[in-house]
Amino acid sequence: MERCLGLLEREWSAVPSIAAEWNTLSEDEQLFQDDRWSIAQSNLHVVRGWVEHGLLSRAQAQRYYVVAQLARESRSIIESLRGC
């Protein structure tokens, strides 16, 4: 679980720096990154289910809530990059 939460933290905290260099990325790199964000969102959804079922420790659940907030804050950046 710690590894999963760490991965999610890294993915979502990297959004602003990736967005800053978005226009320098090739189309393939942009598509790859967009796929990574989709996978990170899916993984976040899975972890939310674990939280809802009480499968995480209190510390892990609190860490999840921090990551979920970071993801919510990042969505507007991602949507602007996607042209939504």
Q: Residue 37: which of 8, 60, 4 has the closest Cα?
A: 8
The pLDDT value recorded for residue 58 is 96
- Structure tokens of 48? 């939310």
The tens-digit pLDDT sequence of the chain (84 residues) is: 899 999 999 999 999 999 999 999 999 999 999 999 999 999 999 999 999 999 999 999 999 999 999 999 999 999 999 885
First-to-final CA distance of the chain:
32
What stretches of 1-84 adopt beta strand conformation (E)? none
The pLDDT value recorded for residue 82 is 82
Burial tier of 47 (Cβ tally within 10 Å: 0-12, 13-18, 19+): buried
